[in-house]
Structures are given as structure tokens and as C-alpha cells.
Amino acid sequence: MGIRLDNLCRAVRDMQYAVRGPIVARAQELERQGRQVIYCNIGNPQALAQRPLTWVRQVLALAEYPEVLERAPGAFPADAVEAARTIARESGSGLGAYTESKGFLFVRQAVARFIQERDGIPSDPEAIYLTDGASKAAQAVLRLLIAGEKDGILIPVPQYPLYSATLTLFGGAPIPYQTDERADWGLSRQALEEAVAGAAARGVKARAIVVINPGNPTGAVLSEKDVGMVLDFARQHDLAILADEVYQENVWRAGDRFVSFAGAQARRGDREVALFSFHSTSKGFLGECGHRGGYVECRNVPADVLEELTKHQSVALCSNSVGQIVTYLMVRPPRAGEPSFAVYDRERREIQDSLRRRAAIVERGLNAVEGIRCNPVAGAMYAFPRIQLPPGVTDGQWCLALLEETGICVVPGSGFGQADGTWHFRTTILPPLDQIETVVGRIAEFHRKFLSRPQK
């Protein structure tokens, strides 16, 4: 009978991933026809002209091709050369060989030191797994936790569709919990309790809660109190926590700061709740999405469970070695006094300052438009404004019309989940400074015209 759509795995067919969905496919088609498209659909900084950090690329070049040193002696700072030597020595066989399933030990040790320095707590390199981006880490953990269709995972609404798509793929039950748009997308214990109770009424047992902090698509940054509330809730309901912390360096609003779940848990003296914390090389100020670096750190997870995770990882042999090295360079940047520090520090500041300014421009610009209301872009790389639409029109139709008329590609709110009767879209804040005003201006003009035209 051969391979046909109707005999494929149902779960794969049912899976939906809006950030690369039909609107993006249409954008690519328009581009092939010669139209200029500005992609604001995905947090992919280097695709929108963000330059890679010199530190990362110099060491990578040396690590991949050490002979370059003989050809261009003196072209690289001494600490980049030293880092490349460390990589050559510690990796043993270089970057072309498979690594341990968990990833290079020296990189895991560097990640553990990074967590120690960030949170002032010990971290065990043996409970750290290097992965092809944070996506694969989240999927590995969800794979372990979902034993049957009645195993539920709490996911925020709105959420980054990695989680809903992976739950569909693995046959788990999503337990959506609503974040409060009127309170800047804040979390409430009541919403979490209602979600668990609703699931129990459907016969679904909650196993874990996903928290994205800072939030995608909401941009919300959680306080110590919020994180503590989730830890309490998880302990009382015997849930594991999946803390998606890939935007930990992307906090824009004055007065906000990133609070890691690992740090907050230690400060509360909690040694009970199983915690899986994810980080990535794709976001922050590296923006090395294509290199696919990331990790998960596991806490309070029994050793025999970790062994199963190791076995799961070993079936794919290992994550890519270059992504592991980029992770190393993220957690072990040049320090003050080292030769690469000045350039690294300048590039880091320039990127962070520019992102902060762009977040403010997007927020302010969208809020100036009648019929659009945008919560503060406190963190991450997105705005998720609410839009008023004429009756019978969906956010998908609005996004398609925006694309056709302005060349701007954003994602409808329905791809992330939203309260019934509300419409949103998600845009990144990533177009370069000299384009971002134009993008916001075009969205504003489009929306004004859209509202005033007769609807079919």
C-alpha cells in the first residue's frame, strides 16, 4: 500500500507549529516572486542582521581548523587561542568525533560553574545534558514524563508551541493554564489550581508544569514571589518543573531581573521538587540559533531516572559537537583583564542596548495605534499585542492580509493559545534599529486601513 498521508503517524499529522506555519510558507512564496519580506515570525536574530560575537566565531574557527593559526599567526587574541587549545585537549579526538551522550564533560563542568556563579549554588555536571538547542532538551524530558495519554503537562496560555506540538507528538495531555493579560501576563495560583482541577475532572493526572521565564510570546518576567509560588504549587501537587529559561539574558524593563528556578529553589531550602532547567545559545546576545547549542540541568531527579535520560540521549549518540562548543563559549566568556574582554563586552552591550531600545519602540509604537494594545515587553524578544478585529475576522486572516499588503510576516495569536474571544499577533523585536520604526509604522497604518475597510 506504500507510504501515503493517510497511513502516516496520526500524531505527526496532528502536530501544529505556527511559528513556521502557513503564513510563513506564504511569505516564502512571496519572496520567491521577488517581494521583500521582513520576517518577524521567529526569534532568529542573525537572520535579521545581528552579528555574531567575535569571541564565539574566533574560537570556533580555531577549534574547527587549528591550522589557521600557522597561516595567520598573531591574527587571534591569546585567550581565543588558549580556549581553542583547551577545546582540543579536552575533547580528545576533536570536533569530528561523537562525544559522550551527555556531551563533553569539560563543557558540562563549565555549565556547572556558570550556574554556581549565577545562583551561588553547587551544580552537578553529571546532571547536565548538552543538547541540540533547548528544544531537544525539553523534548527529551517530556518524552520521559509522558507515559500515557492521561499524563498531563501544564502549559501556559499563551505558550511557545514547542510544548503543545511535542505533547501532541508524544500523546500526552496538555493542561493549559491561563496567564492574565490584564496583569501584564502574570501568573496566579488560582489559574494553576483551576487547571489541575479541570484536568483531574477529565481523568488527567498532572505530571509537570512548564514555565517560560522570561516569557515567549508574552515577554513577562517572573519575580522571586512568582517563582516561589510555582515551586510551592509543584510541591503540593507532586509535579516536576520544566523551567524554560532561554531568555535569561533578555530582560529589558528597568527594575525587573531574571530569577532562576534553581536559585529560588535553593533559597527556599526545597530539595524535593524535580526541576529541569533549560538554556540555549540561540537567544540572549549570542543569537547562535543555527549552531543548535543548549542544555538541561536536572535537580532532585533520582539517579535511575537520570540513567534513563542518558539512555534516551544515547540513542541519538550525542548532540552536535559544535553546538556544545558554542555552549562552552556562552558559559565561559572572556573575563575582565583577558585580551578578548574589551571587544566581547562592547559587542554584548551594543546588542543588549539595541534590543532594549527596539523593545521600547515596538511597545510604544503599537500602543499608539487605535485597536491595538500591547503589554510591556519586559523581557524576551517578542511583543504579543491584542488586536480588535471586526466581527467574523480571525487573527490568521489579519496576519495574512498584513503579509500580503506590507511584506511583514508575523504569527497569529491562535498559534500560541489565547483567551476565547480575544485576538493577538506575535512579532519579534528583532528587525534592526533602522527598520523597526518602519515595521511598526507599517503595522499601524495597515491596521487603521484594515479597520476602516468594509469586511466581506
Ligand X SMILES: Cc1ncc(COP(=O)(O)O)c(C=O)c1O
Binding stretches for ligand X (CB under 6 A): 43, 133-135, 160, 162, 212, 216, 244, 246, 280, 282, 289, 294
b (16+ CB within 10 A) / e for 329-368:
bbbbbbeeebebbeebeebbeebbebbbebbebbbebbee
User: To the nearest whole angstrom, how small is the minimum distance from the Cβ of residue 3 to ligand X?
Assistant: 29
Strands 372-373 and 411-412, by their bridges, are unpaired
User: To the nearest whole angstrom, how small is the minimum distance from the Cβ of residue 217 to ligand X?
Assistant: 8
Q: Which is nearer to ligand X, 162 or 206 (CB)?
A: 162
CA distance 365 to 385: 11
Residue nearest ligand X, Cβ-based: 133
Q: Which is nearer to ligand X, 62 or 208 (CB)?
A: 208
User: To the nearest whole angstrom, how small is the minimum distance from the Cβ of residue 70 to ligand X?
Assistant: 35
Q: Which is nearer to ligand X, 426 or 447 (CB)?
A: 426
User: To the nearest whole angstrom, how small is the minimum distance from the Cβ of residue 134 to ligand X?
Assistant: 4
Q: Which is nearer to ligand X, 140 or 234 (CB)?
A: 140
User: To the nearest whole angstrom, how small is the minimum distance from the Cβ of residue 411 to ligand X?
Assistant: 11
CA distance 105 to 125: 7
CA distance 23 to 304: 44
Q: Which is nearer to ligand X, 81 or 110 (CB)?
A: 110
- Residue whose C-alpha cell reads 546576545 in the numeric block: 285
Query: What three-state secondary structure class fits 100?
Result: coil
CA distance 218 to 378: 9
Q: ∠ at Cα 91 (89, 92), nearest 5°?
A: 65
Q: Which is nearer to ligand X, 151 or 244 (CB)?
A: 244
CB 105 within 8 A of CB 113: no
Q: Which residues contact 449 (CB under 8 A, 6 or more apart)?
A: none
User: To the nearest whole angstrom, how small is the minimum distance from the Cβ of residue 112 to ligand X?
Assistant: 19
Q: Which is nearer to ligand X, 62 or 175 (CB)?
A: 175
Tallying the residues shown for the chain, one arrives at: 456
User: To the nearest whole angstrom, how small is the minimum distance from the Cβ of residue 212 to ligand X?
Assistant: 5
Q: Which is nearer to ligand X, 77 or 293 (CB)?
A: 293
CB 41 within 8 A of CB 19: yes
Select from 244, 257, 181 the least CA-distant residue to 215. 244
Q: ∠ at Cα 349 (160, 66), nearest 5°?
A: 90
User: To the nearest whole angstrom, how small is the minimum distance from the Cβ of residue 387 to ligand X?
Assistant: 21
Q: Which is nearer to ligand X, 20 or 356 (CB)?
A: 20
Name 180's bridge partners: 186
CA distance 205 to 88: 47
User: To the nearest whole angstrom, how small is the minimum distance from the Cβ of residue 5 to ligand X?
Assistant: 27
